[in-house]
Amino acid sequence: MSLYAVVGNPVEHSRSPYIHQLFANQTEEAVDYCAVKVDPDSFDSFVKKFFDDGGAGLNVTVPFKEAAYRLTERHGPRAMLARSVNTLYLDDSGTLCGENTDGIGLVRDIQDNNSFPIQEKRVLLVGAGGAARGALAELVNHEPSSVILVNRTFSKAEQLKEEFGNFAPVEAFSYDNFEATEFDLIVNATSLGLTGNLPPLEKNVLAPGCCCYDMMYGTGGTGFVQWAKENGAALALDGIGMLVEQAAESFSIWRGKKPETGAVISLLREQS
């Protein structure tokens, strides 16, 4: 039995153990997967001990994705671009390797599962932490017409603009200097949904046919999803689909088998 876990703070709400058990049953793989809450100053030591004790792989969630990048010895291409890691494993030589599956999970859910193409869309990305980095690393590969970053701390948004501006037209703002205009796709990459709060956006940012996507999820949806529905978004999605799709990509990295995601997403939606 191979041991895997998701590590974060908070992590009690995580559905990852359930999802990976479904994947294990589906693919007939011997997997034991749990959720572990770690104090911020204990992340590095936890990762080392986990793998020293024979652990096979870790998923990393809020607030440790950038710390995981710094800790990783060998980065996959998406992690290198994002400078953020959500999937850890050891290679055959025992080197700690990291990849980021968040962006590909997000894009697959938006485009493949919900038939909303990103190409030539005006994108607003809210937040500039590890989740935003992972999202942006894949979004820029799908040729949006523009990407606007808005974040409470302007310097963090500006840093992302500098890093990703070569891949797509990117602009950065703080909430204080952000002048609302219409967007076709709005992605909330903040963790505000975990506390029931909302990013300070006006409803006039929603273009006709707009898709609003909260990378967080919770029972009954999130406050951002509810706000989007109340203000006329054509699509208002929480992060359950992304969660399943990024988990499937992690599972594939670890086990060499790509599980089927549609039935798992449907099951989780029935339960939420």
The one-letter amino acid code at 171 reads E
Catalytic residue set: 65
Q: Rg of the chain over CA atoms, in angstroms? A: 18
Burial of 95 (0-12, 13-18, 19+ CB in 10 A): exposed
Q: Which alpha helices (H) appear in 108-261, and where do they start and end?
A: 130-139, 154-164, 223-230, 240-255
- The closest of 58, 53, 42 to 96, measured between CA atoms, is 58
Residues 200/185, Cβ–Cβ less than 8 Å: no
Closest CA to 152 of 191, 204, 100: 191
Are the CB atoms for 244 and 261 separated by under 8 Å?
yes
Q: Distance (Å, rounded) from C-alpha 247 to C-alpha 245?
A: 5
Residue 162 phi, psi (nearest 5): -65, -35
Sheet holding 235-237, edge to edge: 170-174, 146-151, 122-126, 183-188, 206-214, 235-237
